[in-house]
Amino acid sequence: SDPRFINKIIIITGAGGNFGCSGCLFFLRRGARIAALDVDQNTLNETLAELESIATEDSVIAEGTRIKGYICDVTNSSNVDAVVSSIVSDFGRIDMLWNNAGYQGQIKPTLEYDPADFARVMNINVTGMFIVLQSVAKQMSQQKADGETSHPYSIVNTASVAGLRGTPAMVAYSSSKAAVLAMTVSSAKDLAPHGIRVNAISPALIGPGFMWTRQNELHAASGSPYFASNAEDVAKAKIGGVPMKRLGSIEEVIKSVAYLLSDDSSYTTGTNLVIDGG
Ligand code: NAD
């Protein structure tokens, strides 16, 4: 376990996905108690089943720690408010939020991009992220107003280097992640007086695994002149452009999330931690 996270109540959205599932395991092993949220019942159940099977062999997880899954659509504010209330009645309070659910949208050049998909990406990645941030921050602020002093509140939003640099054939995703960065800075200012820190992470090339391979296949098929037409060449060119000449691991992403969620970063708010190998 880890004194930074023992008995901390952490909400993780997108818990059925790659980052979310690994994050649940990482923080459970460190003694946290997790509310795992996802809109997709199947992937959420897979995460919970995987953690349960590990828990039976892992005494650190089995002893005195707990995880609970909640089906939640981040774009639906009454759904989110109801889930936040359930979490408070199940766990007693909320200490930290990893605001991580996301949708990458189509991989198509700007001239061919479907405006309806653009709106969907913005709705999930921006409006949905805001709805969760606001609902959880209201709860945290109430806890502080009620006199809670021992729980410094912290929120981490998952952005992306796509929001800083603009990835070809991902105009909606890049726009949404740039908005996440602005949301992080602005909400950090509003929430500082309430004792809540808000920061972002911006991962770049993370893998290996299904997401990395699939992404390269989609880029190869996108028709964009910035990508080779076969996935292996796309992968080579991407890694060739990284100063450290390798992919980042999910563990490296989550260690950055842990830094920003924990008191290790107690004087840091409104910042963006880039995880991109240079
Ligand atoms: P993923 O697709 O495996 O997981 C995303 C999860 O979000 C899924 O389980 C999905 O069901 C959930 N989700 C989608 N819409 C939702 C909604 N309306 N309500 C609730 N949940 C919803 O992706 P991942 O790789 O784990 O990515 C997690 C986050 O990291 C995303 O925000 C993504 O944009 C970002 N990111 C990923 C990478 C990468 O290389 N994988 C790089 C940079 C940023």
Question: Which atom belonging to ligand 1 lies closest to the Cα atom of 203?
Answer: 43
Predicted confidence (pLDDT) at residue 129 exceeds the cutoff of 90: yes
Interface confidence (ipTM) of the complex: 0.99
pLDDT given at position 64: 67
Most ligand 1 atoms within 8 A of CB, residue of 11, 13, 18 to mutate? 18
Helices (H), the chain: 18-29, 41-57, 59-62, 77-91, 115-122, 129-145, 162-165, 171-191, 210-221, 231-240, 250-261
> Nearest C-alpha to atom 36 of ligand 1 is from which residue?
160
Q: How far is the CA of 101 from the centre of ligand 1 (A)?
A: 5
Domains of the chain plus CATH, in order, are 9-204+250-270 (3.40.50.720), 207-247 (no CATH)
Q: 85-109 burial string, b = 16+ CB within 10 Å, else e?
A: eebbeebebbbbbbbbbbbbbbbbb
pLDDT band (50, 70, 90) for residue 45: very high
Q: How far is the CA of 100 from the centre of ligand 1 (A)?
A: 6
Sheet (strand 272-275) strand order = 66-71, 33-38, 9-13, 96-99, 153-158, 196-203, 272-275
pLDDT given at position 177: 98
Q: What is the DSSP code string of 106-167?
A: --B-GGG--HHHHHHHHIIIIIIHHHHHHHHHHHHHHHHHTT--S--EEEEEE--THHHH--
pLDDT given at position 58: 87
Question: Which atom belonging to ligand 1 lies closest to the Cα atom of 207?
Answer: 40
Q: How far is the CA of 148 from the centre of ligand 1 (A)?
A: 32
Predicted confidence (pLDDT) per residue in 141-191, tens digit: 999 999 998 768 999 999 999 999 999 999 999 999 999 999 999 999 999
Question: Which atom belonging to ligand 1 lies closest to the Cα atom of 159?
Answer: 44
Predicted confidence (pLDDT) per residue in 217-276, tens digit: 999 999 999 999 999 999 999 999 999 999 999 999 999 999 999 999 999 999 999 999
Q: How far is the CA of 150 from the centre of ligand 1 (A)?
A: 31
**Residues near ligand 1 (Cβ within 6 A):** 13-14, 16-20, 38-40, 43, 72-75, 100-104, 124, 128, 158, 160, 203, 206, 211
> Nearest C-alpha to atom 25 of ligand 1 is from which residue?
18
- Judged by phi (left if over 0) then psi (alpha if -120 to 50, else beta), residue 139 lies in alpha
- Integer Cα distance of 98 and 20 in angstroms: 9
Q: How far is the CA of 211 from the centre of ligand 1 (A)?
A: 10
Question: Which atom belonging to ligand 1 lies closest to the Cα atom of 173?
Answer: 34
